[in-house]
Structure 1
Amino acid sequence: MASKKSAVKKSAPAKKAVPSNTATGSLRLDTAAIERARKSLDEGAVTPSNKGSSEAIVKLLNDSLATELVCVMRYKRHHFTAKGLESPAIAEEFMVHAQSESAHADRIAERIVQLQGEPDFNPDTLTARSHADYNDDTDLKSMIRSNLIAERIAVETYRQMIQLIGDQDPTTRRLLESILEDEEEHADELSDWLERVK
């Protein structure tokens, strides 16, 4: 009777799949994609490596554009209507944030155009597409709180967008990372104001 060991055939060890461009220790570009980039010149910055994802990215960016524009309007309303002992300093902070959000909106709109999309500034759909709410509170502490909520929502949505985009579009990812940094700073500032205001 043959032992179990001899009855089982030993198979040859599986070969590891090694990408062709690392087998020799060098990296190689995809020359076919480079050749395709020579065509469709009307597509501007959209090349074969990001063409498939650009439509979905434009949708995400248009929703962020709506969010930024709603934030501009909320901050400006709060700037002009803030009342109370501490209101001048807080109102000034609201205006600084409004200007920052407006700059974000401009950068997002510019990127949408680079991706062959159309920035959606339609006022009829802004609040429906925005991640954050418009707010017309008149109490100073409520204003700070609603803006802090909006900034926290922006931080969360930009983090998720950065993860979703990943390496599909490094330029858009870097843009969103830059905006995220500003939004985190705004949230920190508003959190400090919320603690100070009675």
Structure 2
Amino acid sequence: MENKFEIDIKGIRDDARAHMEKGPVTGTYGADRERLIEVLNEVVATEVVCYLRYTQHAIAASGIDRAQVAAEFAEHAKEELQHGLRAAERISQLGGQPDFDPTTLKQRSHTEYVTTEDTDLKRMLQENLVAERIVITTYQEIVRWIGESDPTSRRLIESILEEEEEHADDLTDLLGV
């Protein structure tokens, strides 16, 4: 049995011209776009909260191991902000509005914003590791939910997930567990 690849290029061209206002979202798009935008806005909120927590911990950290731990927190903060911006860009590509509203960030975030004593580096590391584990679990679920319906959004979440797993590994190393 032969499996031939055939497409109606004239039909595709006509559709592309007729629906230019939809940008990259074509008739073959398979996801629930509105729900995906909501989920991606949760990712934006989660990443912004992680950025803020890591930044606060990087600045507030004190004690004998402060330099090493603060440097790790600062690096993670920078990457978390980039994750949020990448998710926001995808929302825009899908025709949605990225939601950076500070009044609702905490409610939409999968993780919590936890402050600690400035000298409690171990607790800072633990709280950030807990947050990374939450993100890893929820982003794995998002990847499974998206499936094949939106390969671009799935790959975005998978690439962010890969970096979140690296963060968890870094924190585990610093904790010595």
TM-score (norm 2): 0.92
In structure 2, C-alpha distance between the alignment counterparts of 1:126 and 1:87, rounded to whole Å: 28
Alpha-carbon displacement from aligned partner over 1:117-167 (angstroms, at most 9, x marks no partner): 000000000000000000111221111000001111111111111111011
* Partner SS for 1:38: helix
In structure 1, C-alpha distance between the alignment counterparts of 2:31 and 2:134, rounded to whole Å: 28
> Which residue of structure 2 aligns with residue 15 of structure 1?
none
Query: What root-mean-square deviation, in Å, do the aligned CA atoms of Structure 1 and Structure 2 show?
Result: 1.7
Matches within 5 A, 1:3-18: none
> Which residue of structure 1 aligns with residue 46 of structure 2?
67
Larger of the two Rg values belongs to structure: 1
The question of 1:189 aligning with 2:170 is answered yes
> Which residue of structure 2 aligns with residue 93 of structure 1?
72
> Which residue of structure 1 aligns with residue 98 of structure 2?
119
8 A contact 1:46–1:54 mirrored in 2? no
> What residue identity is the alignment partner of 2:3?
G
Aligned length: 174
8 A contact 2:31–2:150 mirrored in 1? no
Alpha-carbon displacement from aligned partner over 1:15-36 (angstroms, at most 9, x marks no partner): xxxxxxxx64212336697243
* Partner SS for 1:94: helix
The structure with higher relative contact order (CA 8 Å, sep 6+) is 2
Q: Between the two proteins, what is the percent identity of the paired residues? A: 45
Q: After the TM superposition, which of the residue ranges 51-60 and 175-184 deviates more from structure 2?
A: 51-60
> Which residue of structure 1 aligns with residue 160 of structure 2?
179
In structure 1, C-alpha distance between the alignment counterparts of 2:158 and 2:50, rounded to whole Å: 18
- Extract unaligned runs of 5+ from structure 2: none
- Extract unaligned runs of 5+ from structure 1: 1-22
In structure 2, C-alpha distance between the alignment counterparts of 1:172 and 1:41, rounded to whole Å: 21
> Which residue of structure 2 aligns with residue 104 of structure 1?
83
> What residue identity is the alignment partner of 2:68?
A
8 A contact 2:143–2:158 mirrored in 1? yes
1:52 offset after TM fit, Å?
A: 5.3
* Partner SS for 1:45: coil
The question of 1:166 aligning with 2:147 is answered yes
1:43 to 9, 19, 22: 22
Cα distance 1:33–1:67, how it changes in 2: closer, same or farther (>3 A)? farther
Q: After the TM superposition, which of the residue ranges 79-88 and 63-72 deviates more from structure 2?
A: 79-88
In structure 1, C-alpha distance between the alignment counterparts of 2:31 and 2:156, rounded to whole Å: 19
TM-score (norm 1): 0.83
8 A contact 2:62–2:121 mirrored in 1? yes
In structure 2, C-alpha distance between the alignment counterparts of 1:52 and 1:185, rounded to whole Å: 29
In structure 1, C-alpha distance between the alignment counterparts of 2:28 and 2:7, rounded to whole Å: 12
Cα distance 1:88–1:52, how it changes in 2: closer, same or farther (>3 A)? closer
Cα distance 1:66–1:125, how it changes in 2: closer, same or farther (>3 A)? same
> What residue identity is the alignment partner of 2:133?
R
Cα distance 1:83–1:42, how it changes in 2: closer, same or farther (>3 A)? same
In structure 2, C-alpha distance between the alignment counterparts of 1:83 and 1:163, rounded to whole Å: 40
